[in-house]
C-alpha cells in the first residue's frame, strides 16, 4: 500500500504541482481512506520527500546509463533534453518553484541532488569534452557546470518564464543549446550540427506522419 500511495502521489504531484494536490485527492484516486494514508505517512511533505528521494535514485541510474551509452559529451548533453521531452506531458512547470517556496525539507533534498549528482555529472562532461577537443580549452569547467545547474532550476521559475508565454521544455531547449554552443570548438561544432540536423529531420518526419494520419482519419 505504501508503494501504491507513493506512485499515485508522484503522478499527481508531477502533473498538477504539489500545493494543488491534497491528501483527499490521493485517497480518492486510490479508492482508499485518508486514514489509510496516515498509517504510512504523517503528512503530505513526508510523502513528497519520499517521492523526490525515489525519483533521485531513478534519475541517477538513468543518467549513468546515458553516460555509458553515448559516444561523446555533446551527445550526452543533448540526449538529456530528449529525456525531458519524453516526460514533459507528465511534468507541471510549477513543480520546482512550488517545492522551493512551500516544502523546505523536500527542496533541500532536491538541491543536494543538483549539487551532488548533476553538478558532478556536468563537470565530468565538460572536462571530457575539453580533453577530446570538442569543448574549448579556455573555459572554466567549475564555473560553467555551476551555471548550468542554476539554468535547470531557472527554467522552472514562473517569474522569469511565465507559463502563459513559454513552455518549460522550450525554455530548457534554448538554454541547453545556448550553453553547449558556447563551449564548442570547430570540431565540436561539426558533431553538434550533425545531431541538430538529425533531430530536425526526425521532427519533420514525425510532422509528416502526423499529417498523413490526420488525412486518413478525415477520409
| Mean pLDDT estimate for the chain | 85
Each residue's pLDDT tens digit, 102-115: 888 888 988 888 88
The answer to whether the CB of 145 falls within 8 A of the CB of 77 is no
pLDDT over threshold 60, residue 51: yes
Q: Average pLDDT of 108-132?
A: 92
Q: Average pLDDT of 151-156?
A: 85
Q: Average pLDDT of 120-146?
A: 96
pLDDT bracket for residue 4 (50, 70, 90): very high
> Considering the chain, what percentage of its residues have pLDDT values greater than 90?
46
Of 110-114, 168-172, 210-214, the range with the lowest mean pLDDT is 210-214
pLDDT bracket for residue 180 (50, 70, 90): very high
If you average pLDDT over each of 74-88, 112-126, 132-146, which comes out highest?
132-146
∠ Cα 1 54 78 (to 5°): 140
If you average pLDDT over each of 62-66, 87-91, 105-109, which comes out highest?
105-109
Q: What is the dihedral of CA 88, 169, 177, 81, to 10 degrees?
A: -10
Q: What is the dihedral of CA 32, 35, 38, 39, to 10 degrees?
A: -90
Domains of the chain by range and CATH?
2-212 (1.10.357.10)
Burial class (CB in 10 A: 0-12, 13-18, 19+), 63: middle
Q: For position 207, what pLDDT does the model report?
A: 54
Place of cell 564555473: 143
Q: Average pLDDT of 86-107?
A: 76
Amino acid at each position: 500500500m505504501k508503494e501504491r500511495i507513493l506512485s499515485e502521489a508522484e503522478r499527481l504531484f508531477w502533473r498538477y504541482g504539489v500545493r494543488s494536490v491534497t491528501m483527499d485527492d490521493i485517497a480518492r484516486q486510490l479508492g482508499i481512506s485518508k486514514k489509510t494514508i496516515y498509517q504510512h505517512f504523517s503528512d503530505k511533505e513526508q510523502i513528497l520527500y519520499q517521492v523526490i528521494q525515489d525519483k533521485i535514485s531513478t534519475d541517477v541510474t538513468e543518467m549513468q546509463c546515458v553516460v555509458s551509452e553515448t559516444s561523446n559529451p555533446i551527445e550526452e548533453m543533448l540526449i538529456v533534453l530528449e529525456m525531458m521531452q519524453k516526460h514533459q506531458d507528465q511534468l507541471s512547470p510549477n513543480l520546482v518553484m512550488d517545492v522551493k517556496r512551500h516544502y523546505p525539507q523536500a527542496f533541500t533534498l532536491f538541491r543536494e541532488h543538483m549539487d551532488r549528482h548533476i553538478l558532478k555529472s556536468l563537470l565530468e562532461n565538460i572536462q571530457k569534452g575539453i580533453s577530446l577537443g570538442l569543448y574549448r580549452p579556455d573555459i572554466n569547467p567549475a564555473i560553467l557546470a555551476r551555471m548550468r545547474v542554476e539554468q535547470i532550476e531557472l527554467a522552472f521559475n514562473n517569474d522569469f518564464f511565465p507559463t502563459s508565454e513559454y513552455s518549460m521544455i522550450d525554455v530548457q531547449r534554448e538554454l541547453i543549446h545556448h550553453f553547449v554552443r558556447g563551449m564548442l570548438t570547430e570540431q565540436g561544432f561539426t558533431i553538434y550540427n550533425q545531431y541538430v540536423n538529425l533531430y530536425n529531420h526526425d521532427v519533420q518526419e514525425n510532422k509528416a506522419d502526423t499529417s498523413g494520419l490526420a488525412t486518413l482519419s478525415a477520409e
